[in-house]
Structure 1
Amino acid sequence: MSHVRVGPRAVMRSVAFLTAGVLAVPALAGCTSEDPAGKPLAEQDVAAAARARITDGGTLRWAVDSVPDTLNAFQSDADATTTRVAQAVLPSMYRMDETGRPRRNPDYLESAKVVDTEPKQVVVYKLNQQAVWSDGREIGAADFAAQWRALSGKDTAYWTARNAGYDRIEKIERGASDLEVRVTFRRPYADWKSLFTPLYPKEVMGTPDAFNDGARRTLKVTAGPFAVEKVDTKADELVLTGNPRWWGEPAKLDKIVLRSVPRDERVSELIAGELDLAEIDPDTAEQVAQAAGPRDAGTGTPLMGPDGTPAPGSGGSALPGPQGRSAAEALRSWAVANGSDEEAAEEETLAREKRRKAQAKQERRRKALSGFEVRKSLEPAYTQLALNGADGPLADERVRRAVARALDREELAEAVLKPLGLPAEPVGSHLALSGQAVYADGSGALGDQDAKEARALLADAGWVPGGPVKKTEDGEEAAGAEKSEDDEDGKESDGGDDGTYIVGEDDKNADGEDERDEKGEDGADGTDQASGEKHGSGKNTAQGGAPGAYAPKGTAAPVGAAAAPVAKDGKALTLRFVLPSGPGSQALRTVADRISDMLEKIGIGTEITKVPDESYFKDHVASGEYDLALYSWPASAFPATDARPIYAKPVPAADGSLNVAQNYTRVGTDQVDQLFDQAMGTLDQDTARDLLRKADSRIWAAAGSLPLYQRPQLVAARENLANAGAFGFETPVYEDMGFLKKGPRGAEAPASPSS
C-alpha cells in the first residue's frame, strides 16, 4: 500500500525541531560552481513512441487504488486518482518535466510573466486563443477570478483543503484582450507558477454549493483531451472519453477506464486480461518479468541488476525440471510410478498428476503474463522515518539525533532498491529530490552514521548504558526489548538476573564506552540471510542467548553484539514503532526491522506494532500515537509553498489544543518558519533556492524526520502500450497514450513495391 498523502500538487512531510544557535550549519552547496541539484536518479520508463506509430482508437484499462470520492482536487478528500483525472480533463498552466520542474503548457498558455514588481507584483497570462471549455466558452479571466475567490480563504462557506498562494492575490482583471488575465498580488509570491493548475470552470468555483457538491461525482464542463463520461460506483470504475472540442493533438485512445483494483489482486486481473496498465508490488513484478523474459537482447529482464546479472530475489535463474525438480528426481518419480510396488506407484502417479496440473496452471499464468512487461523508475516521492518530538524520549533533540546517527541510510536504501536494479542512493533533502532545482544534500548538518557519537548523545541526555531498570507491572524487564503485536508472549530481555545487561570489559575503551563493531555476522541488519529470521532484538533467540548475555564479567562479547540497553531514572529507552500491516507494506516492514537492529546496537529498544492500513495514518501518525513511523511524501516543484505548512511551528488553538496542521512530528522553530517565508516572498529564484537549502540544513540538524530513499515505481504494462508506464517526475501526456500499430514495436509495415 502506498502511504503517500497526495493532493493536487501538495507535498507533505515532517518538520523537525532545532534549537536556534545550537548547531552550526555547513556552507550551502549552492555556493559552489557545480550545481548540487544533479539529475534524476532514474529516467521515466513509458515505452516512448512517436504518435505516427500509434493506432487510433482503443480502450486503456488502468488499475488505480480507488475511485475518488470527489473530482474537486481542492477538497480534503481528493486523492491520487482525483489528480490523475484532473490532469486528463482540466487546464494546467504548467506541467512537470522529466526533472520535476514546472514548464509552461502551450496548449493553454502562450506566455506568462511578471510585468511589475513595484508597488505590487503583477503577472500577465496570455492564453491560447483556441482554448475553450467543452461547452464552447472561451477560457478566461472569469474562471481565474472564480477560482481565486473560492480558494482565497475569505469565504468559509467554501470547503477548501488549502489556499496557499491564492490568499496573496489582491485582484484579477481582464487584460488588454479577452485572452489576457492580469493577476495582482498584495504580497510578493515566488511560487506564482503553482497557481491555476488545475483550473476549474467558473461553473464549479462560482458558488459554495457548486464547489462543495457540484464536482464530486461529475464534471459537466471540462477542457482537456479527455472528458468525464461517468463515475460508476457499483463497478468501481471511472470512464474518460475523448473531448470533441479539444483543440490540441487529438487523443489516440477512445477511452480510459480507471478501475479500482486492490494491489494484491492485480496479478490475477492481469492474468485474466482485464487490465492493460497497473502499478504493482515487487512480487508481482517478478512474476511478470519471468513470464516476459528479456525486453531487449543482452539487457536482461526488467528486474536485472545494473551489471546485467539477475537482481537478488528477482528469480533470474531457471529452476531445473518441471516444478523445479532435478533430472534425478524426475527419473526417480517415473521409476516409482512404473515400479512393482503398486501402493507406492499409485501414490506417485497421483502426485505426478497433481504436479502436471500445477505445471499446466503455471504455464497458463506464464503465457497470460508474457504479453506484459515491467516498466520501472523512481516515484517523485520518498520514504522517511518520522520521529515524534511532541513528548516522550524523542522530545529531547539529543535523543532524536542519536537515533539518526545510528542509522545507515545507504544500507536501508539498498535493501529496498538494489534488488529491483534501481539506483540505491539515500535521499539528501527534505524539500526536493535529485534533479529538482532546490535539491542539495543537506545531511551533512546532521552527520554520518556514527554509533559512538550516538551513544555519546544518549549519555548526554541521561540515558546510561547497562544501567539497572525497574520491573514493569507485568513482571517483564523494561530493558529495551523489541516487541510486536505478533509476539505470543512477553519474554525478559537478555541480561543478568538483576536485569542488568552484562558487557564484556574487553569491549570497552578507556572511557568505558562500547567499541564493538556495528555490523553483525549474519547480515548487515542482524538478519540471517538464509532463513530471514531476525536475531537480537533483546531476546534470547539462539542457543546460548544473545551475544554478551549471562557471560561472566570480563568475557568479550562476539563481534556485532547488541549494546547494553540504555536506561534513565530506572526506565529503559524503548520506542513505539508503528507500521501498516496490509498488502504492499512489506518494504516498510523490512526497513523497520533493519532500523530496529541498528538502534539496538546503541542500546535503544523498539516495540513494533502493526496496525491496519486504514487506521495507520489517521489514528496513529496524524494523531501522534507513535514514536517512530515510516511513510512517504511526494516531492513538489514548489517547496516554499507546499512544505511551509508541513514544517510550520505548531501553535496553540483557541480551545487549548495544539494546531499541528500537517506537521505530524509536532515540533518546529521560528527560524525555519522565517526561512520559508523569506523564500516564498522573493522573486529571485537563486535567492529563494538558497534560502530553502538553508532551511533544509536546519531541518536535518534537528533530526525530526529522516529521508531514507526514493520510492520505487514498478508498473506492469501491456507490451504494445506506448507512452504510459513509470512516469517518474513528468506529468503524463494523455493524448499520446495508445497501442502500437501492428509490427515489431509499432514499426510501419514496409511499403509494397510499385508495379
Structure 2
Amino acid sequence: MRIRSMTTRLAIPLVVVGLIAAGCGSGNDSSPTGEAALGTTNDINPRDVSELRDGGNLRLAVGALPQNWNGLHTDGNDAEVSSVLRPTMPRAFTTNAAAELSVNTDYFTDISLTSTEPQQVTYTINPKAVWSDGSPITWEDISSQARALSGNDKSYLIAMTNGFDRVDRVERGVDDRQAIITFKQHYAEWRGQFAGNSFLFPKSVTSSPDAFNKSLVDGPGPSAGPFIVQSVDRGQGRMVLERNPRWWGNTPKLDTITFSVLDSAARLPALQNNEIDAVGLADINEMQTARSTPGIAIRRAPGNQWSHLTFNGAPGSILAEQGVRVAISKAIDRQGIANAIQNGMVQDPKPLNNHVYVAGQKGYQDNSLGFDPTAAARELDALGWKLNDDVREKDGRKLEIRDVMYNADTWISIAQIIQQNLAQIGVKLIIEPKPGAGFFAENITPGNFDVGQWSWVGDPFPLASLPQVFGLYPDDVQGNYGRIGSPELNALIEQTASELDPAKAIELANQVDRKVFEEGHSLPLMQSPGNVAVRDNLANFGAAGLASLDYTKIGFVK
C-alpha cells in the first residue's frame, strides 16, 4: 500500500523498501560516505531492553492533526496518520533489516497460503488479542474489512481496495479466532492485506459506509496495540499515546509518545531546543545544523519515501491532453533537481526513474522518457500550443499551470527549479504553497490543482498500489488524484496483480511503469536520503531501514 506525505522529510517511523542512500552512521561524523546496500542497513541505536530506563516520553512532530483516523479512508491515507496508528493498531507481518517477512505473533499465531486453486489464505488470531474496549479480535473484523474494501459499495470512501476486490468470501474457521479468505482471482500481494501500511480495524469501523467514513473523523476508535490514544488536544495541536492497559504482549519501556503539530521549518529548532526527539533532515543545511547540535546523532538508512509530481488530467483541466503532459514531463530536469536538493546528503544524487520500485529494490529499472526540452517544445508546437511572447497559447487559453504543494522550503525550491525549466519551453508555472491542515482534503483529493507535489511512502508490497494509484475507475478515485489512466493500463495492472510468479510479476510491473510514463500520469523526482537526526540517548529508534520498529523496545538509555 502507498500512503501520502506532505513533506520531503523522512516520515518517522515507517517501514521502508529501499533507496540509494548515505552510509550507515551516527554521531557527529562527516558527510555521507559509501552507499548502503538495500536490506543491510538499520541504524536505530539497538540496545537490549535491560539497558533502558522504565518510562519516558518520546516526542515527535507531525504537520497536522488527522483529517480522519481511519487509515483505510481516502482522508486518512496519510504518512503522518500512519505514524500515529502504528503503535496502536494490528498488522499481520513484521519485517527485518533484509525485508524478510515474519508473522506478527502478537496478533496472529499463523498465516498460511493453504490453497492456490482457488487461492485461499488462513489467518489464525492470537487468542489473547483484544481491542482496547475489551472485545476480542475475531474473524468478523477481517470479514467486515474485506467487505468494506471490496469496492462493491461506492459509499465507502476507500483509499484502495488492497486486493479485497478479488476476494470471493471470508469464512469462520475452526472457531471465532480463525478466518479463511477465499479469492475469486489470484492476488500477488496477499501478504500485504493487513500489513505494511494497511492496518486491521475493528468491525465497528468497517461495518457500514457511515461508520467507515465518519466514525473516526473527530478521534480514534478502539485500537489494539501496545499504546492507545490518551488525548487529542486540537487547540494545542497535540496527541498523546499511553500504554494500553489491556495489552497482552511485552510491556513497553516508554510511558507515552507525544505528537505535536509543527510547521516544517519549526521542527529542527524544536529538536535543538529539546522539545522533540527526532526529525527527518530535508537538506544539507539541516544536516549540518543537526550535526553541530550537542546530544544529537545522525542516523542513516535507506528510505522509501519519494517526492513526485502528479498531473491533473481530469476532463476540462488544462492538462487533460496526454501529449501536453508528456511534453511537460520531458522539459523537467529531474537530475538538476536531485543535484540541487540532495547534494551533500548522498554521494551521487540521482532522480528516481520508476513509479513502482525504488532504486536498490529488486525489480527497479529506468523506464523514464528522459530529459529533452527540445522535443518537449516541438511536441507542444505540434499540439497547437504556440508561443505568444513568453507563454504558449491555444484557442485563446494560456498554458499556465498551478503547482500546489505543502508550504515548506524544499518543496518551494523544487517548484522554482521546475518553473525555470518550463519557462524555457513557454509554459508558465504558478507556485501555490498550502498549509498542512487540510492539504489533501481541500486540494489534492478534490483535484484542486494542475500539478500537485507531495511524497509517496511505500511498504514491502508495491504491487498492491498499482490499482490504487494508476488504475482509473469511474467514481472510485482511490489514490489516482489526477484522474489519469486508460483501459489498456487497467488491463495491464490487472494482469500484474494476478501474477503469482514473482519474476513474471516484476516484468509486468515494469511494463505498467513504462505505460504510466507514457500516459503523463505523474513524474517521480527523488527518493529520501534517509537521514534522521535523533537524540543520542534514544534507543531502538531512528532510521529503521527495511525493518519494522518494535514499539515495546523503544526507550531512553539509563
**1:245–1:706 distance in 2 versus 1, CA, 3 Å:** same
Q: TM-score, normalised by structure 1?
A: 0.61
> SS of 2:528's equivalent?
strand
| Preserved CA contact (<8 Å) 2:283 2:342 | no
- Alignment counterpart, residue 167 of structure 1, candidates 165, 168, 181: 165
Answering whether residue 93 of structure 2 is matched by residue 94 of structure 1, we say yes
**SS of the counterpart of 1:63?**
strand
Deviations 1:166-225 (A, max 9, x none): 333333223235553211223332222222342223454456666555555565743322
Q: Is the 8 A contact 2:327 2:380 kept in 1?
A: yes
Match of 1:222 in 2: 223
The letter of the residue matching 2:485 is G
**1:693 and 2:510 equivalent?**
yes
1: CA distance, partners of 2:418 / 2:286: 26
Aligned to 1:632, what secondary structure does the other structure show? strand
Structure 2 CA distance for aligned equivalents of residues 456 and 610 of structure 1? 28
What one-letter code is carried by the residue in structure 1 that aligns with 2:6?
A: H
Give the paired residue count.
527
Are the aligned partners of 1:131 and 1:247 in contact in 2 as well (CA < 8 Å)? Answer: yes
Partner amino acid, structure 1, of 2:351: P
**1:408 corresponds to 2:409:** no
Contact 2:422 2:429 in 1 (8 A): no
What are the ranges of 5 or more consecutive residues in structure 1 without an aligned counterpart?
12-37, 293-369, 470-477, 481-566, 654-658, 742-755
Q: Write the letter of the residue equivalent to 2:364.
A: Y
> Residue 92 of structure 1: CA displacement?
0.6
Superposed CA deviations along residues 627-649 of structure 1, whole A, max 9, x for unmatched, are: 44433222243344323142223
Q: Return the alpha-carbon distance in structure 1 between the equivalents of residues 212 and 390 of structure 2.
A: 55
Give 1:429 deviation, angstroms: 0.9
CA contact 2:252–2:553 (8 Å) conserved in 1: yes
Question: What does residue 613 of structure 1 align with?
Answer: 435
Measure the CA separation in 2 of the matches of 1:383 and 1:180.
Answer: 40
RMSD between aligned residues: 3.8
Q: Distance in 1 between matches of 2:520 and 2:209?
A: 42
- C-alpha displacement of 1:696: 0.7
Match of residue 479 from structure 1: 390
Question: 3-state SS of the aligned residue for 2:401?
Answer: strand
Q: 1:41 to 1:573 in 2, by over 3 A?
A: farther
When Rg is computed on C-alpha atoms for both structures, the one with the higher figure is 1
Residue segments in structure 2 that go unaligned for 5+ positions in a row? 17-35
SS in 2 for 1:733: coil
Q: Which amino acid aligns with 2:426?
A: I
Q: CA separation of 1:73/1:404 partners in 2, compared to 1, >3 Å: closer, same or farther?
A: closer
Residue 115 of structure 1 and its aligned partner are, at CA, apart by 1.7
How do 1:17-32 and structure 2 match up within 5 A? none
SS at match of 2:274: coil
Q: In the alignment, which residue of structure 2 is the partner of 1:382? A: 306
- Quote the residue 1:670 is aligned against: 487
Give yes or no for contact 2:15–2:548 (8 Å, CA) kept in 1: no
**Cα distance in 1, alignment partners of residues 101 and 210 from structure 2:** 32
Q: Distance in 2 between matches of 1:631 and 1:218?
A: 25
Does 2:340 match 1:418?
no
User: Following superposition of structure 1 onto structure 2, how do residues 102-141 of structure 1 map, counting pairs within 5 Å?
Assistant: 103-118=102-117, 120-134=118-132, 138-141=136-139
Q: Structure 1 counterpart of 2:82, which letter?
A: T
Cα separation, 2, equivalents of 1:186 and 1:92: 24
Q: Is 1:266 matched with 2:267?
A: yes
Residues 278 and 716 in structure 1, CA contact (< 8 A), matched pair in contact too: yes
More strand by share: 2
Report if aligned partners of 1:252, 1:735 keep a CA contact under 8 Å in 2. Answer: yes
- Percent identical: 31
In the TM superposition, what are the counterparts of 1:211-290 in structure 2 within 5 Å? 211=212, 215-216=216-217, 221-279=222-280, 281-282=282-283, 285-286=286-287, 288-290=289-291
1:556 is matched with: none
For residues 620-672 of structure 1, give each alpha carbon's deviation from its aligned partner in whole angstroms, at most 9, with x where no partner exists.
65555554443322224334432314222365x6xxxxx75543333322111
Distance (Å, rounded) in 2 between the aligned partners of 1:380 and 1:99:
14
Structure 1 residues 433 and 54, CA, compared in 2 at 3 Å: closer, same or farther? same
In structure 2, C-alpha distance between the alignment counterparts of 1:236 and 1:259, rounded to whole Å:
6
**CA separation of 1:461 and 1:633: change in aligned 2, threshold 3 A:** same
Within-5 A mapping of 1:620-659? 621-622=444-445, 624=447, 626-649=449-472, 651=474
Q: Contact 1:240–1:257 at 8 Å: present in 2 too?
A: yes
The answer to whether the 8 A contact 1:405-1:451 is kept is yes
Cα drift, residue 45 of structure 1: 3.6
Separation in structure 2 between the aligned mates of residue 41 and residue 193 of structure 1, nearest angstrom: 19
The answer to whether the 8 Å contact 1:280/1:714 transfers is: yes
Contact 2:357-2:462 within 8 A present in 1 as well: yes
The within-5 A match list for 1:510-525 is: none
Q: Give the aligned residue type for 1:734.
A: Y
Q: CA contact under 8 A between 1:42 and 1:378: conserved in structure 2?
A: no
Bigger RCO of structures 1 and 2 (CA < 8 A, at least 6 apart)? 2
Question: Residue deviations 1:64-86, cap 9 Å, x none?
Answer: 22333443322343243432232
Letter in 2 for 1:430: H
Q: 1:272 to 1:156 in 2, by over 3 A?
A: same
> Counterparts in 2 of 1:366-377, with a 5 A limit?
370-377=294-301
- Looking at structure 1, the residues matched to 402 and 208 of structure 2 have their Cα atoms a distance apart, in angstroms, of 45
For residue 6 of structure 2, the aligned residue among 3, 8, 13 is: 3
- Aligned residues of 1:99 and 1:435 also touching (Cα < 8 A): no
Matched, 1:578 2:503: no
Contact 1:276 1:718 in 2 (8 A): yes
Q: Is the 8 A contact 1:63 1:261 kept in 2?
A: yes
